[in-house]
Structure 1
Amino acid sequence: MKGSTPSFYNLAWRWHFYAGLFVIPFLILLSLTGIVYLFKPQLDALMYPELLQVPVAEQRLDADRQLALVRQAYPQATVRQYLPPPAQGRSAQFVVDQGGLELNLFVDPYRGTLLGSQDARGTLQAIARRLHGELMIGTVGDRLIELAAGWGIVLLVSGLYLWWPRGSGGAGVLWPRLRSRGRLFWRDLHAVSGFWGSLALLFMLLTGMTWTGFWGAQFAGAWNHFPAAMWDAVPKSDLQAGSLNSASRQTVAWAAEVTPLPVSDPHAAHNGQATAAQGADAARIGLQRVVDTAVERGVQPGYSISLPKGESGVYSVALFADDPRDDATLHLDQYSGALLADVRWRDYGPVARTVETGVMLHEGKLFGLANQLLMLGVCLLILLSAISGLLMWWVRRPQGRFGVPPLRHDLPRWKTATLIMAVLGVAFPLVGASLLLIWALDRLLLSRPAAPSCLQQG
C-alpha cells in the first residue's frame, strides 16, 4: 500500500482467509465423497457383481412371487421398497426394515433365489452420500453443508478479486510458474486452479444447495408449483413425496419432492374384497399389478416402488432418471389400484427443469462417461485449489500465531463489497447470520492495528 490511497486488497484478503478457513475442509470432503458417488455404477459393478449380475433365463418370476420369497426368508421384516431388474441379466432388489436395521436384499428373478444382503446404510455409496449431504449427523450436518456452500460463494468472489490481474503477464495468473519454489509455487497453484475452476465451483455450489434442508426446501417451495387441478380430486395426506427420500437413498426427483403424498381409501379394504379377519393387507393389489401399471404408463426401467405404510398409504412408483426428461412419480391406491397422481417432466416448471438438468450434470449422469470425467476434472481442480490454499497458509503463517491477515483501519466503506455481502446475506440467510456474527467477533476480538508483516502481499 503506497501513500494514503486506500487499498481494498487487504480487506478482500481478510474475508477470503475467513471463508477459506471454514470452507476448505468441507470442499475437500465434498470433492472426495463426490468422486466416489460420481462413479457409483462402475464401483457397484466392481464391488458387488455376485449381487447385481445373474444369468439370463427364459422366464422371469413375477414381482409377487419374488416378494413372497423375501417374506419367507425374513418373516419379521417390513418390506419398504422394491426395485425391479433394470435390465436383462440384473437382479431385483428389496429394501426391508429388520429390527431397525435397513437391509438391501437381492433376488435372482429367474430362479427365485436370494443372492445376498447388505446393510443399506453401510455400503460405500451410502456412506459417501450421507457424508456428502449431512456429514452423517443429520440436520446439524445438513445445515453445516449449506453454510459451507454459501461461504464457498464468498470465497469465490473474494478469490477472484485477489486473482484479478494488476499489470502482470499470464504467468501466475493464467498458468502457474512451475519452476518457482515455496510460497510462490503454492500461491500460483492456488490462484490458477481457483480461477479455472471458479465457474464450475459456483455451478457445483448452487446446484448442490438446492438439495439442502433449509435453503433448498425454501427454494423448492417457492419455485416448484404444479397445476392445482392435478390434486383437486385426490385425497392428500400431510406428507410430501420428498418424505420417501433419505440421506442414503434418493427415491423421488427434486422437482417432485414438494408434491402432496396421496392416501388410499381404507374402506375399500372391506368392500367385498376381504373379510375383517383377513384384514386390509389381504385386500391390497398385488405388487406385479403396480409393475404392470408402471410399464403401461411408459415409466422407463430403473424405477423403484415404495410399498404402502399403514392402511392409508399408497404405492409410489418413482424414477429419478439420469435424463430428467424421463423422471416419473406415480401414486396408486393400494386397494383399488387407481392412479392417484402422475407427475412427469411435462409438469415441471422452467426453474424445476433447469435445476433437475443441473443436478444431473452435477452428479455426472446426463452424458454418461463424458459427464463423469468432466465432473472428475472439476473435483480435482477444487481439491488442488483447496489443498494448495491450506499449504500456502501453513508455509507463511507466523510462528505461534494463527496468521489472520492484518486489517487497515483507515479504509473507507467499500460500497461494492458491502452490496455483494448484503445480497449474499439476503439470498442465503444462514450465510447472512454468520456474516453478522463474524463481523461482530472480528470487531471485538481480532481487529488490531498491525504493522506490515510477512503475510502482506503486493
Structure 2
Amino acid sequence: MSDYVAGPTKHVASAGPSAEQPAGRLYARLWRWHLLAALLVIPFVLWQSTTGTIYLWAEWGMDQAHPELRFVQPGAATVPPSVQLAAALEAAPKEFSAKVTGGHGHGGGGAHDHGAMTEQGGPPVQEIILSDDPRRSTQVMMLNESGLPYPIFVDPYSGRVLGSLTGSQWLPGLTKALHGGWPLGKPGSWLLELADGWAIFMILSGLYLWWPRQRGFLAALRPRFDRGARMAVRDLHAIVAVLFSAVFLFFLISALPWTAFWGGEVLSRVQTALNQKGTAGFSPGGASAQQMAAAQKPIDDLVAEARTRGISQALSVRLAPWPGAPLYIGNRNGPPSADRVILGNPKTGEVTRDALRAEQPVIPRMVGFGIHVHQGDFGLWNLWMNTAFALSLIWLTVTGVASWWMRRPRRSLGVPRKMELRWPRALIATAAAMCLLLPIFGASVLLLLGLERLLVRRGKPA
C-alpha cells in the first residue's frame, strides 16, 4: 500500500510518483482499485485461511479426539472389503429423506462435479477408505441429507463397526466443504472464484505499488521502524505480501480448477479443445447404499487386483450414482508421482482402465500437482508451509486493515478519488487478458466500471 494524503481535490502518493504526473495518476488509480479489491477480498481471505488451516490438521485432530474409532489392534488377516462395507451399511441410518449431489469436491462443485443425484435406496456412500496402516480402521464415508460426509469406522480384522461421527463432528469433511462454498453449492463456488480473481489482481497491483522507486530493492524489504507507526505497519504489510506473493499466486491459480464455473466450464472446454482430457477420470462417489451393496463382489475383486498390481498405499473406492458409472479405485497417500487409478465394471469386477499419473496429459498432471500441494500431500513440510501461508494471509488482512484505519482521513472511508488518465496500452492488454481468462472476474470489472460511470453521470462522487 502507498501513503496518500486525502483532500477535496486530489490524492498525493508520497511513496510513489507525483500525482501531477501521468505516472503518478496511474499509481493513484491503481492504488484506488487495490483498496477496493482488498475490501472485497478480505472476508474471502479470512474464511479460506481459517477453513484451509483447520482442514490441513483435521485428520491429526481426529486421531487425538477419537483414537477408539481411528485405531485398531492389528490381527492376522483382514476380512474382505465387502464384509466391512456390509457392516457399515447395516449401521447406517435406514431412512434417507433427501436427494443430495454425489459428494463435495474441494471446490464445491468444480471440474469433477457431474451434478448427478443419488438414487433411492439408503444414504449415499461417498467412498470406502482402506488404510495401508495395519493399525488404522476402515472408513466408510456416507453423505447426510445436507451433502456433508460422515464416517462409519469398521475394524478391518473383525468386520465390527467401531462407531461413527456426524457430518458436523467430522472436521476433515466439514472444513473441506466450507472451504469449497458449502452450503451454497455452485453460487458459493462462484463467489469464491470471484474473490480468487480479485485476489490475483490485488497481488499484482500491490507489487506495482510496492516496487521501489526511491530506494534499492533490498532496502525496500526492510521495515522502517524509525518513521512512525503508520509507516512501520505499512511496511510490515507490504513486505510480507511481497515475500509471499509467488506462493499466493500459485495457490490462487491452482485453486481455479476446483471451481464450478472456471473448472467445470472453462478448463474442461480448453482441455477438450487441446486434447488434454485426463484418461484416469474422476468419481465423486455418491452411489446409494443399495447400489454399493449390489457391487460388493466386484469391489472385492478390484481391490485384490489393485494390490496384485502393486498399489500399496491406502485405497479410495468410489462409485457414482448414474448409470454406467465405473467402480473407481485410487491411491490416497504416498508420493504424488505414484498416483494411479483403476476403473472397473461394477457388475463383473473386470478392470477397464489402469492409468498412471505419469501417463496423463500435461494439464491434468499440473492440476493434480496443485491439488497435492493444497492438501499438504508432500509430507510434514508441506503441511507447515501451507499453515505458514494461511497465517501470513491473516497477518496481511490484520495489518492491511490497521494500515488503512491509521492512514484514512477522518470521517471518511479513505478510498482515493478517481483520477482521469489515459491507461497504458500494455496495462489495458493485461487487464483484458485477465478478464477473458477469468470470466466471472471480468464480468465484475465491467459491472463496477458501469456503476462508476453511472455515479459520475449523476454527479455523485466516485
Tell me the TM-score normalised to structure 1 length: 0.80
Distance 1:308 1:388, change over 3 A: closer
What amino acid is the match of 2:394? L
Which of the residues 344, 353, 369 maps onto 1:341?
353
Pairwise CA RMSD of aligned residues?
A: 3.3
- Cα distance, 1:214 vs structure 2: 1.1
SS of equivalent to 2:180? helix
Tell me if structure 1 keeps the 8 A contact 2:319–2:328. yes
Corresponding residue for residue 275 of structure 1: none
Distance 1:331 1:104, change over 3 A: same
1:91 aligns with 2:109: no
What amino acid is the match of 1:328? R
Distance in 2, matches of 1:213 and 1:353, equals 19
Which of the residues 381, 384, 390 maps onto 1:373?
384
Which of the residues 343, 368, 375 maps onto 1:356?
368
1:108 aligns with 2:118: no
- Cα distance, 1:396 vs structure 2: 2.5
Corresponding residue for residue 244 of structure 1: 285
Corresponding residue for residue 305 of structure 1: 317
Which of the residues 117, 124, 128 maps onto 2:164?
117
Distance in 1, matches of 2:432 and 2:357, equals 35
Q: Percent identity?
A: 30
What amino acid is the match of 1:22? L
Distance in 1, matches of 2:88 and 2:176, equals 27
Distance in 2, matches of 1:135 and 1:310, equals 22
Tell me if structure 2 keeps the 8 A contact 1:407–1:449. no
What amino acid is the match of 1:414? P
Distance in 2, matches of 1:228 and 1:130, equals 26
Distance 1:204 1:3, change over 3 A: closer
Distance in 2, matches of 1:42 and 1:283, equals 32
Corresponding residue for residue 38 of structure 2: 20
- Cα distance, 1:95 vs structure 2: 2.4
Show structure 1 runs of 5+ residues with no match: 232-239, 247-278, 451-458
Q: Give the stretch that moved more between structures: 385-394 or 154-163.
A: 385-394
Distance in 2, matches of 1:100 and 1:158, equals 40
- Cα distance, 1:89 vs structure 2: 0.9
Q: Give the stretch that moved more between structures: 440-449 or 43-52.
A: 440-449
Tell me if structure 2 keeps the 8 A contact 1:172–1:188. no
Distance in 1, matches of 2:235 and 2:295, equals 69
Corresponding residue for residue 423 of structure 1: 433
Corresponding residue for residue 413 of structure 1: 423
Distance 1:378 1:75, change over 3 A: closer
Which of the residues 260, 263, 270 maps onto 1:222?
270
SS of equivalent to 1:83? strand
1:5 aligns with 2:5: no
Residues 295-325 of structure 1 deviation map (CA, whole Å, 9 limit, x = unaligned): 1233332221124747755422133545332
1:192 aligns with 2:239: yes
Distance 1:3 1:376, change over 3 A: closer
1:434 aligns with 2:452: no
SS of equivalent to 1:134? coil
SS of equivalent to 1:173? helix
- Cα distance, 1:39 vs structure 2: 2.3
- Cα distance, 1:127 vs structure 2: 2.2
Tell me if structure 1 keeps the 8 A contact 2:292–2:319. no
Tell me if structure 2 keeps the 8 A contact 1:408–1:449. no
Corresponding residue for residue 400 of structure 1: 411
Corresponding residue for residue 98 of structure 2: none
What amino acid is the match of 1:95? M
Tell me if structure 1 keeps the 8 A contact 2:302–2:351. no
SS of equivalent to 1:316? strand
Show structure 2 runs of 5+ residues with no match: 1-11, 13-17, 95-121
- Cα distance, 1:149 vs structure 2: 0.8
Tell me if structure 1 keeps the 8 A contact 2:129–2:315. yes
SS of equivalent to 2:165? strand
Which of the residues 397, 401, 408 maps onto 1:390?
401
Distance in 2, matches of 1:357 and 1:303, equals 19
Distance in 2, matches of 1:307 and 1:345, equals 20
Residues 238-272 of structure 1 deviation map (CA, whole Å, 9 limit, x = unaligned): xx7354389xxxxxxxxxxxxxxxxxxxxxxxxxx
- Cα distance, 1:284 vs structure 2: 6.1
Distance in 1, matches of 2:68 and 2:348, equals 38
Aligned residues: 409
What amino acid is the match of 1:92? T
- Cα distance, 1:75 vs structure 2: 7.5
1:318 aligns with 2:308: no
